[in-house]
Each structure stands twice: as C-alpha cells, then as structure tokens.
C-alpha cells in the first residue's frame, strides 16, 4: 500500500522568503505525482503534474522536482507572498491517487 | 470554477435524513471519484467510476450509496449517517489515461447532527 508523507506539517515564513515543501512516497512504481493547493474549507486546485519520466516541472514561481527512485518530490515556491498561504497536498498516482496529509503554509506580511 | 461542480456547498442533516450530493463535470473525462476529507486526516478514496461502471469501493459503509447515471454526473446518496461522517466530500474527475491529472470540485461540507 502506498504511503505518502509530507514534511513539515506546518510552515510559517516572512513574505519574500522561498518555500521548500517535501513529499516522500514508499512505492516508486508510480505514473505521476500531482501537487495541489487547498484553501480552508475549499476544494483542491491543481498546481503541477509531473510524470514519472520527468525530473521537474515549472509554472511561474512554482517548481516541482521528482526523484522517483528515491521516492521524493519537492515543491519550491519562490519569493513567497501572503496569497500563497494555504495547505499544499502531494498526491501520488500508482493507478490510484494517494495523498499526503499536507503542509500548511502561512506567509506573514 | 474548476470544471467540476459540486452541489450543495454546505449540508446539515439529521441522522435519520436522506440526502444526496451531486457532482457534474464538463471536461470530457471518463472517470469520476468520491473522496472524503476529515479533519487532520489525508484524503480517503471512497468510490471510483470508470465509464459509468463502479470499479472500486474502498470498504465504505452502505449508508453511502454512489450513483453514476452518465459520464458527466456522479451522486452520493446519504442515509442514516453518523456524526463521525461529518467531513468535506470531494468529487474529482480524470481521464482513465493514467498520465493525465485529476480535477477536483470545491467540495460539499457535510455536518451530521
């Protein structure tokens, strides 16, 4: 059974600092990995989808890396803003989508 | 809106009530999913429908009954729920092509009293 772990569980940074969110998974036989953002009480917004054959994906200030063999992915958010405050979820697709518990980010103005 | 629409956004129901959650997608996807998100816990997959056929039921109690009448619509029928069923219920859709990502709705916040 796929186990997905996200570290840290919570993170508070001043505005402008870069964010580094970590995700690890136990079974490396995956098709892809997807990072989502969730605002309180809301649904999930897809940020980046990275295929198992890719090493990284970028969108604006966001960059996700994937090291499938070691079962790790990292989401980098450059020059954080208060609007980046949310919970970030990592989901691994090995035919089913398995989620981590998320990292709750607070960016202080 | 994300392309996946869920109604209602909020629902309060008594333990003896019967209610239904609705999910609709206009993305041309052929798989739909129900997830449950409880406080402090990862999202839990409840049901999977592929081409309108249920392909997965993750040991969900029978008080939750899914229905997928066509590839664009998914329902979750609720009856005699317990307070511990209070949670955010999320619908998602995707192509069954495993290289594609998932699109989620905004969820229904369910409170059982």
The predicted-structure confidence for A35-89, as pLDDT tens digits, reads as follows 999 999 899 999 999 999 999 999 999 999 999 999 999 999 999 999 999 999 9
Closest in A32, A45, A95 to B2, CB measured: A45
Please write the tens of the pLDDT for every residue from B26-77.
Answer: 999 999 999 999 987 889 999 999 877 777 777 899 999 999 999 999 999 9
Cβ neighbours for A37, distance < 8 A, ≥ 6 positions apart: A44, A45, A47, A86, A87, A88, A89
Taking CA–CA distances from A101, the nearest residue in chain B reads B42
d(Cα B59, Cα B79) in Å, to the nearest integer? 17
Closest in A49, A93, A101 to B42, CB measured: A101
Under 8 Å between Cβ of A25 and A6: no
Nearest in space to A33 (alpha carbons), one of A54, A49, A47, A53: A49
Contact B40 A44 (CB under 8 A): no
Taking CA–CA distances from A97, the nearest residue in chain B reads B45
Per DSSP, the residues of A27-39 read ----SEEEEEEE-
Closest in B90, B101, B109 to A46, CB measured: B101
Question: What is the phi/psi pair of residue B100, to 5°?
Answer: -90, 155
| Closest-CA distance of chain A to residue B112, Å | 16
Closest in B6, B99, B102 to A97, CB measured: B102
Kindly list the residues of chain A whose beta carbon comes within 8 Å of any beta carbon in chain B. Answer: 4, 31-32, 34, 36, 41-46, 49, 51, 89, 91, 93, 95-102
| B21 vs B95 pLDDT, higher one | B21
What's CA B76's distance to the chain center, in Å? 6
With tokens 């994300």, the residue in question is B2
Taking CA–CA distances from B5, the nearest residue in chain A reads A43
Kindly list the residues of chain B whose beta carbon comes within 8 Å of any beta carbon in chain A. Answer: 2, 4, 6, 33, 40-43, 45, 48, 56, 88, 90, 92, 98-107, 109
pLDDT level of residue B2 (50, 70, 90 thresholds): low
Residue B1 predicted with pLDDT over 70: no
Please write the tens of the pLDDT for every residue from B79-104.
Answer: 999 999 999 999 999 998 878 899 99
A-B interface: how many C-beta pairs under 8 angstroms?
55
């Amino acid at each position: 059974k796929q186990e997905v772990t996200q570290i840290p569980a919570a993170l508070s940074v001043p505005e402008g600092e870069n964010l580094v969110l970590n995700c690890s998974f136990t079974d490396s036989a995956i098709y892809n990995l997807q990072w989502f953002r969730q605002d309180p009480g809301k649904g999930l917004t897809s940020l980046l989808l990275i295929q198992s054959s890719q090493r990284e994906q970028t969108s604006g200030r966001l960059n996700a890396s994937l090291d499938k063999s070691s079962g790790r992915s990292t989401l980098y958010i450059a020059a954080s803003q208060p609007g980046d405050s949310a919970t970030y979820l990592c989901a691994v697709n090995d035919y089913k989508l398995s989620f981590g518990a998320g990292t709750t980010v607070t960016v202080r103005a | 809106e994300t392309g996946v629409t869920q109604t209602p956004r909020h629902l309060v129901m008594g333990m003896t009530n019967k209610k239904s959650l609705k999910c609709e997608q206009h993305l041309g996807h052929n798989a739909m999913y129900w997830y449950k998100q409880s406080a402090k816990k990862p999202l839990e997959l409840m049901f999977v429908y592929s081409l309108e056929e249920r392909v997965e039921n993750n040991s969900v109690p029978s008080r939750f009954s899914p229905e997928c009448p066509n590839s664009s619509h998914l329902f979750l029928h609720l009856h005699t729920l317990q307070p511990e069923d209070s949670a955010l219920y999320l619908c998602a859709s995707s192509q069954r092509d495993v290289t594609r990502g998932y699109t989620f709705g905004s969820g229904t916040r369910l409170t059982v009293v």
